[in-house]
């Protein structure tokens, strides 16, 4: 199947860095339709960029403080039965999903109370990311504002489409992101179960998720013929004393 051109884009982001410029380029340079939710839609609309509210597509109102917002089928485009069912129900395909999640970890780090932390557990975001990533054969799913420029450049070089290689890498990034997100929630909630703060059975977690991001490659691993990578955060977790 040929790489699909990006014609319909769903946007729902907490981090709105660069989102206006990205939306403007998608509309201006590729004629894409932008579909968006809540605050993201307002930001795009206020910038003078055409945007379709999500409830016009779902035919279902956004409600419950955003707890009910966005669902969309994950159709295989090379499956005639899937496409026939989509046509029967008037479902148009979405070619790109641009989503980043509620800032749960920052909310916890800010010292927010229990209720506020619970409200900052994203529901629709992980669902949209995971469904779009599962369908990476035909859908590009974007979580990082830093990637907007590279994606636009690829689309310009590829007649308005993203490549399968890029969509696959973006999908991998999604599952890494949702894995870390769920791990952070599980670790925090497990910590809330301890009543007295002492190291007793009730206060100790059953599991502990450690999610580390690659900081840099190393000259070699434990031995010169092996490869090595550095995972962690300089300053927070490690101090470099000398050397490269």
What is the rounded average pLDDT for all residues in the chain? 82
Q: Which stretches does DSSP call E strand in the chain?
A: 8-13, 33-36, 52-53, 96-100, 140-142, 214-217, 229-231
Instruction: Say how far apart CA 20 and CA 174 lie, in whole Å.
Output: 22
Q: What is the pLDDT of residues 211-231, one digit of tens each?
A: 777 777 888 888 888 888 888
33-84 pLDDT, tens digit per residue, is: 999 988 899 999 999 999 998 877 766 555 445 444 455 555 566 667 766 7
Q: What is the pLDDT of residue 83?
A: 64
DSSP state of 213: -
Those residues whose C-beta lies under 8 Å from the C-beta of residue 41, and which sit 6 or more positions away, are 11, 51, 53, 54
What's the token pair of residue 221? 């691993």
Q: 124-154: per-residue pLDDT in tens?
A: 889 889 988 998 998 999 999 999 999 999 9
């Amino acid at each position: 199947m040929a790489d699909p051109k990006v014609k319909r884009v769903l946007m729902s982001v907490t981090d709105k860095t660069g989102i206006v410029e990205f939306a403007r380029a998608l509309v201006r340079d590729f004629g894409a339709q932008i579909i968006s939710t809540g605050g993201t839609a307002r930001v795009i609309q206020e910038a003078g960029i055409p945007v379709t509210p999500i409830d016009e597509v779902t035919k279902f109102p956004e409600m419950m403080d955003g707890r009910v917002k966005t669902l969309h089928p994950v159709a295989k485009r090379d499956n005639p039965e899937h496409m026939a069912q989509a046509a029967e129900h008037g479902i148009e395909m979405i070619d790109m999903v641009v989503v980043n999640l509620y800032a749960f970890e920052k909310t916890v780090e800010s010292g927010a109370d229990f209720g506020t932390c619970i409200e900052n557990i994203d529901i629709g975001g992980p669902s949209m990311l995971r469904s779009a990533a599962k369908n990476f054969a035909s859908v590009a799913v974007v979580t990082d504002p830093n990637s907007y420029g590279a994606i636009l450049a690829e689309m310009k070089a590829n007649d308005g489409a993203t490549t399968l290689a890029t969509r696959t890498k973006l999908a991998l990034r999604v599952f890494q992101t949702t894995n870390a997100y769920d791990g952070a929630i599980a670790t925090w909630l497990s910590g809330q179960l301890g009543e007295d703060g002492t190291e007793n059975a009730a206060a100790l977690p059953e599991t502990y998720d450690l999610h580390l991001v690659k900081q840099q490659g190393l000259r070699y691993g434990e031995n010169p013929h092996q490869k090595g990578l550095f995972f962690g955060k300089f300053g927070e977790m490690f101090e470099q004393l000398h050397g490269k």
